[in-house]
Chains A and B, each alone.
Chain A
């Protein structure tokens, strides 16, 4: 017989053999690591995909620019302040300031120039209007000036073409003296070429027939007037006239075809140009120079050297006495002269002066005022009856009409409710007046790495739109109900639906499932054939496709148990409506059936894991089976039972198919009750993903994140419960 030791490898051979065994272990370790990587990779890709859709840039086009609401409100406030004189005529404004010792106001720089002896120029943020500050934009109240005429007029009336050419050639000579800031020489030359192209070459001035009638901006008045006078001096023989009615009114009249040559202190907006086109007026726009709006005061107000934009807001739109601005100032009323409504100057002024004020900075009263100015009367009345805008008085309705409505058989909700608060008014302005419309959305990845390209694309396709970063997952998304407007849609009703359905599911399946498990584990004789069949059956039920449970739920809960699930038995069906079994209760019970086998199997596992010594200890003391089970076996099994139950609940939260069969609705705008129609998060996600508009894909991604968070919370609570119960024993 051989030495038994020689039958095993020794020395070097032994070392090799050990290395070999270790190597095969290493290979398996690598395989398992790869599996882990694949799993993690899939998970990361999935999450990135969702996050990519849930955040990103959007091109947002407002029906009304919110800032214009602010400036509009502030303009109204400014013009209606006491001791305020508003006019489109800058000469009149200058006169008011000259005549009042505590006067302050705005005039075109040209007008200041002509009255420089009687007016005191005040700097804005330390900047006086000079050629440099206007050109580089550091003086805020500067803008280009334009003259307009219709293309037809330009081509058919030689006097107009001649005047335009004369204007462009000479404006820079006279403009400086008049207090204007000069336009770029090349620009002027280019525009002369344009006139020649459109209207033919220059003609002798004395041969030009016809008359010239100018109207519009008061800021441009001195220059255009001077040009007219010079034009006649140079030989033009027709009649000349010029009026100052303000830019806005001027543009409006021009687009109706009522004005031959228009002076404007701002360019036409896209909307105004469109109106012109509709009236077959093709505007030709010629820039003739730059103007600055000067802030001037009576010479005696020598304590004012320079003001900030914020101080200007106080001076012109808030305070009434000088000492309210600064206690060192005299206790004198502020007398104000501001450009009248409809002038380009007022627009320029308010655009800069109130640029730092956002819509959200305004008061509730201001919101009510904005609603009064911007909301249609019919809609306003309807909203006012839903809930009043003001605690005292009405905006759209009248006290008598409102009282009448409240006395009727079906009083509107506004009769009982307090007036809307500030936040409510702000929401209303956003939804009813601003009406943000998403034109296009971009995923997060593009938004980060292609931002420039996106901004360029958006400004080309949607010139009026704002491109901003939007998190589709935001507080509003959580509290808003479902809506057909992607901007306003939220998941509140879906979250409530999920919570209530899952609560029903839990209340049904936890007691039933744990009870069944206790019977099967503790009482049933597992050797008996019928118990074996039940056990096998339960295991198989756990593998039945969920849609089949949906069919079961539809037949049993929705149809067969209609009186119970519709709430008819409890008098919960409104009179005149048909009872419907497609309720939260039906859905909860259906999901309850679906997860019942899972709960039973998990609970059985947990009970089986309780050592038998525990049962024997109890029984050995003379305890009954139930006493032992209740006092010792169940507490020991509880962590396992709870973990299994919560994991089953997670499954229920994520189920979609059976609920579609049971009849979950997709559009639910009111919070559900147990006997109402309902929607749940997965159904909401399913509905959004199946819609063609891209922004609903973003909403779906956000809703998926909400759903995942709910699931994570459930799973985390399972872990916490398990740890807590298992350490306490």
Chain B
């Protein structure tokens, strides 16, 4: 990806980002450019702040009362943490899929339609629901039971329903926080295929514990690790996935991806 540094191809930028929980600094001094229509993966050992960093991109950390953040997330030339930016709008444009599938305890149809409705969608709702479910590759499995509860689906289906729900409000970036950690390998594979399809329209940032998944399905990879002195996370290495997995620049990266720690 030779044009990765072209500014028009950058979807969102993290500039010197540090996130604190109370007095504890969870991640520090992250600088990162996320390429448009690519899949960027965050990998690293438990507790190194991958998910915290991910949530910083759509201000989900705001929901944790004691969290605070330094630095800038630049999206379309604007710092998302500026005082005049509405976090509701940020989350509307930068959607999120969570670690544990969390469909609403409502019908499958309503799971999709609710987000569209509250965001003022004016088009044909039935079409939107079908289109979203198709783009999440779950339409064929649920088209006959749209009025059943979202909770009646299997774990993998629920997660794809959550992706469909996110896709339905047409965000530009989709954040995925370990979306496959609660799923079996077949469901995981389906989600990975789905990510590849979604990549054509969306920029995807994914946090994963699974090195194979990162290697298989991402274009860029950031490796985070925990600083042994102050226990806060920092970015060790960020490069194209193929480069990182074949030729890691850093000793720690190599040890991690070869499974010697973590």
Contacts and interface: CB of A to CB of B under 8 A. Distances in A.
25 contacts: A526-B65, A527-B65, A613-B102, A616-B60, A616-B63, A617-B102, A618-B104, A619-B63, A619-B91, A620-B58, A620-B60, A620-B98, A620-B166, A621-B91, A621-B92, A621-B115, A621-B118, A621-B119, A622-B88, A622-B115, A622-B171, A624-B88, A627-B118, A631-B114, A631-B118
B66 interface: yes
Interface in B85-118: 88-89, 91-93, 95-98, 100, 102-106, 114-115, 118
A618 B103 CA distance: 10
Contact of A527 (B66, B103, B104): B66
Contacts of B104: 614, 617-618, 631-632
B169 interface: yes
Interface in B142-189: 149, 151, 162, 165-166, 169, 171
A729 B104 CA distance: 9
Interface of B: 58, 60, 63, 65-66, 88-89, 91-93, 95-98, 100, 102-106, 114-115, 118-119, 149, 151, 162, 165-166, 169, 171
Contact of A616 (B65, B98, B118, B169): B98
Nearest to A613: B102
Contacts of A616: 60, 63, 96, 98, 102
Nearest to A635: B105
A-B residue pairs, 6 tightest by C-beta: A622-B92, A621-B115, A729-B105, A613-B102, A620-B96, A617-B102
A121 interface: no
A84 to B, nearest CB: 81
A611 B99 CA distance: 14
Contacts of B91: 619-622
A614 to B, nearest CB: 7
A372 interface: no
A636 interface: yes
A623 B60 contact: no
Given A527-B66, A622-B89, A614 B102 contact: yes
A634 to B, nearest CB: 12
Contact of A623 (B66, B118, B166): B118
Q: B65, B95, B118, B171 — which one has the most chain A CB atoms within 10 A of its CB?
A: B118
Nearest to A636: B105
Chain A CB within 10 Å, residue with most, of B98, B105, B149, B162: B105
Contacts of A614: 102, 104
Interface of A: 525-527, 611, 613-624, 627, 631-632, 635-636, 729
Nearest to A631: B114
A618 B63 CA distance: 12
B104 to A, nearest CB: 6
A616 B105 CA distance: 14
A621 B149 contact: no
B158 to A, nearest CB: 11
Contacts of B66: 527
Nearest to B105: A729
A635 B110 CA distance: 14
A523 B96 CA distance: 22
A619 B59 CA distance: 10
Nearest to B96: A620
B115 A525 contact: no
A265 B93 CA distance: 110
Given A526-B65, A527-B66, A627-B118, A621 B102 contact: no
A621 B63 contact: no
A624 B105 CA distance: 19
A34 B190 CA distance: 56
Contacts of B88: 622-624
A605 B207 CA distance: 33
A623 B105 contact: no
A616 B97 CA distance: 10
A595 to B, nearest CB: 29
Given A619-B60, A620-B96, A621-B166, A525 B105 contact: no
Contacts of A623: 88, 115, 118-119
Nearest to A524: B65
Nearest to A624: B88
